[in-house]
Structure formats: C-alpha cells, structure tokens
Amino acid sequence: MEEVKKMENEPVESVAIAPAQTDQYTSALTDPKTLNTLVKMAGMFARSQIVPETYQRNPDNCFVACELANRMGVSPMIVMQQLYVVKGKPTWSGQACISLINGTRMFSPLRFVWVGEKGTENWGCYVQATRLSDGEICTGTVVDMAMAKAEGWTAKPGSKWLTMPEQMLMYRAAAFFARIFCPHALMGLQTAEEVQDVSGYDEPTQTKTITFSREDNA
C-alpha cells in the first residue's frame, strides 16, 4: 500500500470568496436599474489607477468583472485580481479555485492528502473535506504524475509540471474536487492550469475584452 501523508498547513494563500448568487445574476440581466448600476460601477473602476492595468481605461472588461462579481456576491476587485484570459478563455487562477471552494462554506477547509513517493510517477495528491450539511467526508480524484504524463500535460512547451509539480498537483486536485462536489463554485469557468495543460503555456493575460454567456453558469 502506498504511503499516505497529510499536509499540516494549506500551502496556497487564498482570499475568501463567497458562494455564487444565481438570483442576483438573473436580476442584473432583467432589471434595468441593476444593470445601469453595474455600468456606472464599471466606468468608475475603469477610471481608477489602483485596479489591475488591463482594467484601467477599459470599461468593457470592468463591466464583465462587475457582472461576475454581482453573480457571486463579492467585491469586483476580487474578480479583477483572480480572473485571467488564457487562449482567449476567461479562467480562474489555481489559487482562486481553492478560495472559491472554501468560500462556498459547504465544507471544512480543504485538506491536501499526498500519496506515493516524491519524484516517482505515482506521486500525487487528492483533496479531502468534510461536508458540513451531513458530516460526510468528500474525497476528490487522485492526481499524480502518471496522469500528468499520460494526458500530455508534462509535454507542453514551458510546462509548469516540470518546474513546479507540487503546486500543479494541488491546483489540479482542487479543480477536480470542485467539478465533482461543488461545480457551481467555479461559475462554469475552467482554471488557467486546465486550459494551459491542453492548449499550451503562454502566459495568462487579462488584455482582451472578455464576455460571458448564460451557458457559462450552467
């Protein structure tokens, strides 16, 4: 049996992100007053010099961030700091993924459980947490280096799996946990690492105007 050890502390510093609020999302699209408020907020953020550079003088990007923040019930600044564009797709950072899961308040704080021997293909981890509503222990998919190799993630030019495998294992394990136990937490978006593993490792940007559709919240 493979040796299993638990991390004593969560290695990723995360911000608190509250659960998604789908009722607010509907209101924003159907109520002219709410929509007008978001437009005004987007204009104010675009004129600010303390928002990330990609949002400065770009009210369209700011509106997307404000609309998504309204759906989630959080500050637009949180979205602006954690939303990236990878290969033309809006994505969450791996850190944001962990924060979004914790922010649902459905589970105890995420715990990363490590399996296998470091440096081998069976080295990996999975996420485990207790569901607060019924006390059930929820266990996510094991992500190991064998999976990363088989899926071709390690073969991409510039792959972070070769330089920071521990971090990538944790980000991927968190994303798999979210897809199974709280898919609504990511608002239908992938993580930057998921897109990069498939499409390549260009640095994520926030320089394009990004839009969302109803399907994103499915």
pLDDT along the chain (218 residues), means of 10: 40 44 58 90 95 91 90 88 82 92 94 96 98 98 97 92 96 96 92 88 52 40
Residue 195 near residue 89, CB atoms below 8 Å: yes
pLDDT of residue 211: 41
Q: What is the C-alpha to C-alpha distance for residues 197 and 177, in angstroms, rounded to an integer?
A: 17
Residues in CB range of 17: below 8 A, 6 or more apart: 72, 74, 78, 82, 96, 99, 100, 102, 103
Please give the single-letter amino acid code of residue 27: S
pLDDT for residue 113: 98
Q: For position 208, what pLDDT does the model report?
A: 42
pTM of the model: 0.74
The pLDDT of residue 27 is 64
So what's the pLDDT on residue 214? Answer: 38
The CA distance from 94 to 18, in Å, is 16
Identify the pLDDT of residue 204: 57
Q: Given this model, what pLDDT does residue 21 score?
A: 46
Amino acid letter, residue 107: F
- pLDDT at residue number 212: 40
Contact 171, 191 (CB under 8 A): yes
Residues facing 44 on adjacent strands: none
